C-alpha cells in the first residue's frame, strides 16, 4: 500500500467545480479564468516569436529580453529595479514559483505561517518540504490581518511567512500601515517572506498596490511572485516570475532548475515584446476590471445574494445566508447542479473555517454575456 505524502489532498476544488459545471451546463463563475480573448498584440507577438524560430529550451533563468523587461516594469511601477540577471527568474506559472521559493529555504521540521483563508497550493507545498503550516486567521468579515496574532505565531522554528495581496479569495488588500507592521514583525528575525502578488495590477478605487518591492526592509528577505496569466488573460500559458535578492534567487534557481528547468520559450519572447511595447495594458488593467466589478455588483443587487467589498482582484464574495442554511460546499454544489451557476466555496481555503460562515466566491473575469446569463439564474434564487 502506498503511504501518501499528501494524505489530506484530493482533487482541487477548482477542478471539481469546473467539472461539475461542465456536466450540468452551468455558467462557470467558479474557477478563476477569463473567457474573453487575450490582447491581439500579444497573440501577434507570440505568432512572430514562433515564426522567428524560438522553439527550443529557453535559458534556465528566463529569456534575457523578458528578464530585462520585467526589471524595467518593476522600476516603472514600484521604483525599484532588480538585477535582471541575478534577481529575476521566469517560471512556469506562479504556482511553480511558490513551490520553488518554499523548497529553496524551508527545511523539514520548520514552520511556515500562512494567513487563512489562503490559496490551496500553499499548504501542500509546505507539507512536501517536510515543514508545518501554521494557520493564522484573517478577520472573518473584512479579511484584514490581526498582526498581533501573526506576531504571536512566529517562533524560533518559523522559516517563512506567506502573504497575498490583493487577496484570493476575498480581494482584500494590504495598506501602507500593514506593510509597516510586517516590517516590524520580521525585523531582526531569520524569517523569509513569500509575497504572492499575482493580482498586482487589478486594484480599484484609486488605491495603490503595496508591493513588498516598494519596501527595502521587506524585499531584502522576500520572494515576490507574479503571474502573466492573470495580467494578460492567458492562464493556460502558465508563465510567471519571481523577484528575489541575489542569495535567495540563487537558492530558488537550484529548485527551478530541477523542477521544470525552463519555461515556454515563444511565450517568453511574446511577453518581452508586450511589456516593452504596450505598458498601457497593465496600467489600464485596474480600470478594465473595475468596470466589470461595478456592473456585476449592480446586477447582484437584484438578487438575494449580498456582495462583500472588493478592493482588488477579480473575485466577488457573496453572502448567501438569505438564500440557504447549507454549508458552503453543499450550497455551491446545489447552486451548480440545481440552479446552473458554478461558484467556489470558501472552506477549502481554510484550515478551520469560521463556524456558520455562508460565503461563496464568484469570478467576474468574464464576458458581459456570461455574467448576464449567470445573473438571470441567480435572480431566481
Question: CA torsion angle for 131, 346, 92, 127 (degrees, to 10)?
Answer: 10
pLDDT at 10 over 90: no
- In Å, how far are 6, 44, 74, 268, 293 from 177, measured between CA atoms? 37, 42, 22, 36, 26
Cell digits of residue 197: 502578488
Residue 376 makes CB contacts below 8 A (sequence gap 6+) with none
Question: In the prediction, which pLDDT does 241 show?
Answer: 98
Residue 9 clears pLDDT 90, i.e. is over it: no
Angle between helix axes 368-378 and 279-300 (nearest 10 degrees) is 20
Residues 104-114 have a mean pLDDT of 98
Which residue, chain included where needed, has cell 495594458?
Answer: 281
Q: Give the Cα separation of 55 and 266 in Å (integer).
A: 6
Contact indicator for 183, 171 with CB cutoff of 8 Å: no
CA distance 91 to 260: 8
Q: What is the pLDDT of residue 15?
A: 85
**Cβ contact 271:48 at 8 Å:** no
Entry pTM: 0.97
Give the C-alpha separation, 270 to 54, whole Å: 10
Domain at 40-279, CATH class: alpha beta
The strands making up 111-116's β-sheet, listed across from edge to edge, are: 88-91, 240-243, 222-227, 192-196, 158-164, 111-116, 132-137
Query: How many CB atoms sit inside 10 A of residue 340's CB?
Result: 18
Q: Show me where the domains of the chain are located.
A: 13-38+281-378, 40-279
Output the CATH code of domain 13-38+281-378.
3.90.1150.10
- Report the run of H or E that residue 135 belongs to, with start and end: strand 132-137
Joined together, the cell numbers standing for residue 359 give: 460565503
Quote the pLDDT of residue 317. 98
| pLDDT (mean) for 25-53 | 95
Distance CA 99, CA 322 (A): 39
Place of cell 523587461: 69
pLDDT-above-70 percentage for the chain: 100
Cβ neighbors of 161 (< 8 A, separation 6 or more) are 112, 113, 150, 154, 182, 185, 186, 191, 192, 193, 194
Give mean pLDDT, residues 45-74: 98
Q: What is the pLDDT of residues 275-334, one digit of tens each?
A: 999 999 999 999 999 999 999 999 999 999 999 999 999 999 999 999 999 999 999 999
Amino acid at each position: 500500500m502506498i503511504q501518501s505524502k499528501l494524505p489530506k489532498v484530493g482533487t482541487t476544488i477548482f477542478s471539481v467545480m469546473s467539472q461539475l459545471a461542465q456536466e450540468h451546463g452551468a455558467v462557470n463563475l467558479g474557477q478563476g479564468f477569463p473567457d474573453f480573448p487575450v490582447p491581439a498584440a500579444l497573440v501577434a507577438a507570440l505568432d512572430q516569436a514562433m515564426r522567428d524560430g524560438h522553439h527550443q529550451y529557453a535559458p534556465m533563468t528566463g529569456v534575457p529580453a523578458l528578464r530585462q523587461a520585467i526589471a524595467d516594469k518593476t522600476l516603472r511601477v514600484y521604483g525599484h529595479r532588480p538585477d535582471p540577471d541575478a534577481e529575476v527568474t521566469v517560471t512556469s506559472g506562479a504556482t511553480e514559483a511558490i513551490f520553488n521559493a518554499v523548497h529553496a529555504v524551508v527545511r523539514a521540521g520548520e514552520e511556515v505561517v500562512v494567513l487563512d483563508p489562503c490559496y490551496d497550493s500553499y499548504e501542500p507545498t509546505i507539507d512536501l518540504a517536510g515543514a508545518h503550516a501554521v494557520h493564522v486567521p484573517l478577520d472573518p468579515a473584512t479579511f484584514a490581518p490581526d498582526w498581533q496574532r501573526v506576531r504571536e505565531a512566529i517562533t524560533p522554528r518559523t522559516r517563512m511567512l506567506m502573504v497575498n495581496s490583493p487577496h484570493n479569495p476575498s480581494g482584500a488588500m494590504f495598506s501602507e500601515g500593514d506593510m509597516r507592521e510586517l516590517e516590524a514583525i520580521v525585523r531582526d528575525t531569520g524569517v523569509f517572506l513569500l509575497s504572492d502578488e499575482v493580482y498586482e495590477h487589478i486594484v480599484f478605487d484609486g488605491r495603490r498596490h503595496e508591493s513588498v518591492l516598494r519596501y527595502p526592509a521587506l524585499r531584502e528577505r522576500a520572494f515576490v511572485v507574479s503571474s502573466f496569466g492573470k495580467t494578460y488573460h492567458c492562464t493556460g500559458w502558465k508563465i510567471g516570475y519571481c523577484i528575489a535578492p541575489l542569495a535567495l534567487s540563487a537558492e530558488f534557481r537550484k529548485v527551478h532548475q530541477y523542477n521544470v528547468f525552463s519555461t515556454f520559450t515563444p511565450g517568453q519572447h511574446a511577453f518581452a515584446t508586450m511589456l516593452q511595447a504596450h505598458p498601457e495594458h497593465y496600467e489600464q488593467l485596474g480600470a478594465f476590471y473595475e468596470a466589470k466589478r461595478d456592473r456585476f455588483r449592480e446586477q447582484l443587487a437584484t438578487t438575494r445574494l449580498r456582495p462583500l467589498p472588493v478592493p482588488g482582484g477579480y473575485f466577488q464574495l457573496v453572502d448567501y445566508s438569505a438564500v440557504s442554511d447549507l454549508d458552503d460546499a453543499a450550497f455551491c454544489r446545489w447552486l451548480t447542479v440545481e440552479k446552473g451557476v458554478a461558484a467556489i466555496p470558501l472552506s477549502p481555503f481554510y484550515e478551520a473555517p469560521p463556524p456558520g460562515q455562508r460565503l461563496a466566491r464568484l469570478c467576474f473575469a468574464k464576458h458581459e454575456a456570461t455574467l448576464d446569463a449567470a445573473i438571470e439564474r441567480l435572480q431566481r434564487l
